[in-house]
């Protein structure tokens, strides 16, 4: 499975002019990622000026735009939003009607570069999980460090987090686990055998970690949220170019690319 993380909350057009802000740009980038092989779109949304927002209304119009262009793609709104947002602000996209098939569930508090702290206390994680359970939403468990896996497993044992568990390992955030294949292997070996995982990494580590994940039997997340370069010094023209590179790597390594419906089967979505 390839997830296209097309937008994020931190990256801007100053980093790469092709980072999408408007509804039309978000739709275009989702379509290019999907046409290249992404079965899941990890979605943050922006105001037209680039300000990150968790507005339910903005998610609604962006999701409609994406569905118009790629009717069967799995859309996975972020409930992480941007550092500093309140819990209820972050949760807005899960209350859409119909609810999204998936959403992210961030599994711990961490430093997030500079002076930023991304806050996800144990009670916050329980609250988010219970709200998503109520609405039948499959969570992707976002783990930026090993302790976050331990937290997810603890809340799974307590019955808050349901099976089947799907993890996304984000390596290389300043404040989280470093982006090495040794660390990815450690994370992979720390989750139950019957769970699934995707991996991504920030900046120049993106493709080496994705390659390691593909070799280890994992899935891949790629996109402007994590990295804006196609190769050293070469800005990607679109998320489609980034996804296409992952498809080439996967093909070389003998892994097939999942369609959205195949991804639904892998994830246990109805």
- Residue 167's binding partner out of ligand KMH, Zn ion, none, with CB under 5 to 8 Å set by partner kind: none
Span near ligand KMH by CB under 6 A; candidates 74-82, 120-128, 189-197, 233-241: 74-82
Q: Count other Cβ atoms within 10 Å, centred on residue 45.
A: 26
Q: What are the structure tokens assigned to 94, written together? A: 């899960």
- Min CB(159)–Zn ion separation in Å: 26
In angstroms, the CA 237 to CA 129 distance is: 36
Burial 169-190 (b: 16+ CB within 10 A, else e): bbbbbeebbebbbebbeebbeb
Residues 43-102 that bind Zn ion (CB under 5 A): 78
Place of tokens 């996975």: 76
- Residue 196's binding partner out of ligand KMH, Zn ion, none, with CB under 5 to 8 Å set by partner kind: none
227 binds Zn ion (CB under 5 A): no
Distance, first Cα to last Cα, the chain: 17
- Min CB(198)–Zn ion separation in Å: 12
- Min CB(42)–Zn ion separation in Å: 6
80 binds ligand KMH (CB under 6 A): yes
In angstroms, the CA 123 to CA 125 distance is: 5
Selected binder of ligand KMH within 83, 119, 215, 269 (CB under 6 A)? 83
- Residue 109's binding partner out of Zn ion, ligand KMH, none, with CB under 5 to 8 Å set by partner kind: none
Is 43:77 a contact under the CB 8 Å cutoff?
Answer: yes
Q: Which residues contact residue 97 at a Cβ distance below 8 angstroms, ignoring those fewer than 6 apart?
A: none
Span near ligand KMH by CB under 6 A; candidates 59-67, 78-86, 94-102, 179-187: 78-86
Which residues sit at the interface with ligand KMH, rule CB under 6 A?
Answer: 9-10, 78-80, 82-83, 104, 106, 112, 118, 142
């Amino acid at each position: 499975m390839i997830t296209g993380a097309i937008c994020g909350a931190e990256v801007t057009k100053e980093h790469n002019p092709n980072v999408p802000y408007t509804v039309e740009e978000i739709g275009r980038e989702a379509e290019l990622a999907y046409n290249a092989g992404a079965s899941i779109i990890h979605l943050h949304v922006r105001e037209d000026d680039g300000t990150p927002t968790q507005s339910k209304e903005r998610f609604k119009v962006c999701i409609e735009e994406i569905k118009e262009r790629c009717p069967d793609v799995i859309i996975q709104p972020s409930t992480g939003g941007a550092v500093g947002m309140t819990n209820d602000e972050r949760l807005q996209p899960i209350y859409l009607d119909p609810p999204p098939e998936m959403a992210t569930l961030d599994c711990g508090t961490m430093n997030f570069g500079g002076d930023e702290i991304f806050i996800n206390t144990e009670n916050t994680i329980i609250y988010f999980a219970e709200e998503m359970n109520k609405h039948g939403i499959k969570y992707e468990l976002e783990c930026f460090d090993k302790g976050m896996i331990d937290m997810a497993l603890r809340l799974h044992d307590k019955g808050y987090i349901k099976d089947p568990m799907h993890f996304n390992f984000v390596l290389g955030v300043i404040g989280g686990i470093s982006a090495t294949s040794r660390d990815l292997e450690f994370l992979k070996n720390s989750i139950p055998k019957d769970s699934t995982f995707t991996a991504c990494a920030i900046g120049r580590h993106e493709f080496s970690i994705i390659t390691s994940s593909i070799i280890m039997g994992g899935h891949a997340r790629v996109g402007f949220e994590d990295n804006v370069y196609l190769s050293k010094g070469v800005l990607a023209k679109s998320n489609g170019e980034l996804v296409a590179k992952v498809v080439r790597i996967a093909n070389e390594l003998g892994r097939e690319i999942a369609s959205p419906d195949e991804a639904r089967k892998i994830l246990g979505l109805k």
